[in-house]
C-alpha cells in the first residue's frame, strides 16, 4: 500500500513538473511566435539586407563583444577575490557590485549622463575619449550593467570549487598565482563560458542606458534595440517587427554558438 502511494505521489509530482515546463515553453512560443506571423518573409529579407540593419547588426556585435570581454576581464579577479578572501567592508563592496543588477536601467543611464556632466566626466570627455553620443559610450553603458552579472557568475563558479585544489598545488611548490592559472582557471572555464553567454545576452539587448548616454542617432549609435526604437518612433510597425525578428534570429544563432563552445570546453 505504501509503495503504491509513493508511486502515485511520484507520478503526480512528475506530472506537475512536466505540465509547468510545457506551459512555460508554450507561453514563450506564443509570445515570440506572434512576432513571426506579423511580417512576411519578403519584408524580413529586405530588412535584413538593408544598410541600416546591417550597420545595426555590426555595431551591436562589435560593442557587445567588447563590453563582454571587458566585463569578464574585470570579473575574473574580482570574483576570485570575493570568493577566496575575507576583509573588512566585504559586505558593503558586494552590495555595491550587485547594485547595477537591481537598479532600473533608467537610473543607470541617468547616473552615467550626470557623471559626464560633472568635472571628472568632462575631463575624460575633453582629454581622454568621448563617451556621450559616441560608440565608446555604448560599450560603457553595456559594461556598466553586464559587469555585475559577470562578477556574480564567476564568483559562484569559484565558490563551487573546493579550495583544497589550490592548497594541494601550493604544497607542491606553486605560488598562489601559479595555482590560480594552472589549477583553478581550467576548472572554472565552464562557468567562465556560461557567464560570458549571460553577460553577452544582457549587453547586446541593453537599451535605456545606451539611449540616454548615446542618443538614437541613425548610422552612428543605432545598435539593434535603438534601431527597433527608431522604427517605432517614425511609425513603421512593420520595420520594427522585421528588425525584431532579425534580432531574435541573430540572438538564437549567437547563443547556439556560445553554447556549443561552452559544451566543448566542459567536455560534454
pLDDT number for residue 6: 67
pLDDT number for residue 59: 92
Q: Report the candidate in 84, 74, 82 with the shortest Cα–Cα distance to residue 184.
A: 84
Residue 138 has pLDDT above 90, yes or no: yes
CB 197 within 8 A of CB 73: no
Residue 109 has pLDDT above 70, yes or no: yes
Residue 137 has pLDDT above 90, yes or no: yes
Domain 42-266 has CATH 1.10.10.10: no
Residue 71 has pLDDT above 90, yes or no: yes
- Mean pLDDT for 40-52 is 74
- Mean pLDDT for 238-242 is 78
Residue 63 has pLDDT above 90, yes or no: yes
Residue 266 has pLDDT above 60, yes or no: no
pLDDT number for residue 20: 93
- Mean pLDDT for 125-148 is 91
On average, the pLDDT of the chain sits at 84
pLDDT number for residue 110: 92
User: Cell digits for 18?
Assistant: 512536466
Q: Report the candidate in 152, 157, 242, 142 with the shortest Cα–Cα distance to residue 200.
A: 142
CB 135 within 8 A of CB 221: yes
Residue 90 has pLDDT above 70, yes or no: yes
Residue 250 has pLDDT above 60, yes or no: yes
pLDDT number for residue 142: 93
pLDDT number for residue 264: 58
Residue 78 has pLDDT above 90, yes or no: yes
pTM of the full structure: 0.83
- Residue 221's alpha-carbon distances to 57, 70, 142, in angstroms, are 11, 19, 13
Residue 267 has pLDDT above 60, yes or no: no
- CA 218-210-142 angle, to 5 degrees, is 125
CB 168 within 8 A of CB 107: no
Alpha-helical segments (H) within the chain: 2-36, 41-49, 51-84, 90-102, 105-115, 119-127, 135-159, 164-171, 176-179, 185-204, 208-214, 224-233, 237-266
pLDDT in tens, 202-225: 888 888 899 999 988 888 888 989
The domain locations on the chain are: 1-37, 42-266
Report, in angstroms and rounded to the nearest whole number, the Rg of the chain calculated over CA atoms.
23
Amino acid at each position: 500500500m505504501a509503495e503504491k502511494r509513493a508511486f502515485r505521489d511520484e507520478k503526480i509530482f512528475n506530472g506537475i513538473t512536466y505540465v509547468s515546463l510545457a506551459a512555460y515553453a508554450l507561453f514563450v512560443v506564443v509570445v515570440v511566435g506572434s512576432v513571426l506571423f506579423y511580417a512576411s518573409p519578403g519584408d524580413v529579407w529586405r530588412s535584413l539586407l538593408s544598410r541600416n540593419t546591417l550597420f545595426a547588426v555590426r555595431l551591436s556585435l562589435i560593442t557587445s563583444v567588447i563590453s563582454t570581454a571587458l566585463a569578464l576581464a574585470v570579473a575574473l579577479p574580482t570574483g576570485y577575490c570575493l570568493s577566496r578572501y575575507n576583509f573588512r567592508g566585504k559586505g558593503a563592496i558586494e552590495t555595491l557590485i550587485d547594485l547595477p543588477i537591481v537598479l532600473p536601467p533608467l537610473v543607470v543611464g541617468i547616473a552615467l549622463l550626470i557623471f559626464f556632466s560633472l568635472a571628472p566626466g568632462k575631463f575624460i570627455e575633453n582629454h581622454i575619449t568621448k563617451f556621450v553620443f559616441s560608440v565608446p559610450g555604448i560599450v560603457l553603458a553595456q559594461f556598466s550593467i553586464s559587469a555585475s552579472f559577470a562578477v556574480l557568475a564567476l564568483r559562484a563558479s569559484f565558490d563551487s570549487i573546493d579550495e583544497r585544489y589550490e592548497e594541494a598545488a601550493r604544497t607542491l611548490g606553486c605560488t598562489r598565482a601559479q595555482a590560480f592559472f594552472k589549477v583553478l582557471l581550467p576548472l572554472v572555464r565552464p562557468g567562465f563560458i556560461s557567464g560570458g553567454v549571460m553577460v553577452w545576452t544582457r549587453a547586446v539587448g541593453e537599451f535605456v542606458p545606451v539611449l540616454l548616454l548615446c542618443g538614437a542617432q541613425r548610422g552612428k549609435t543605432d545598435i539593434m534595440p535603438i534601431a527597433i526604437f527608431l522604427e517605432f518612433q517614425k511609425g513603421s510597425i512593420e520595420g520594427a517587427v522585421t528588425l525584431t525578428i532579425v534580432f531574435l534570429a541573430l540572438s538564437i544563432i549567437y547563443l547556439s554558438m556560445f553554447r556549443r563552445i561552452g559544451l566543448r570546453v566542459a567536455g560534454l
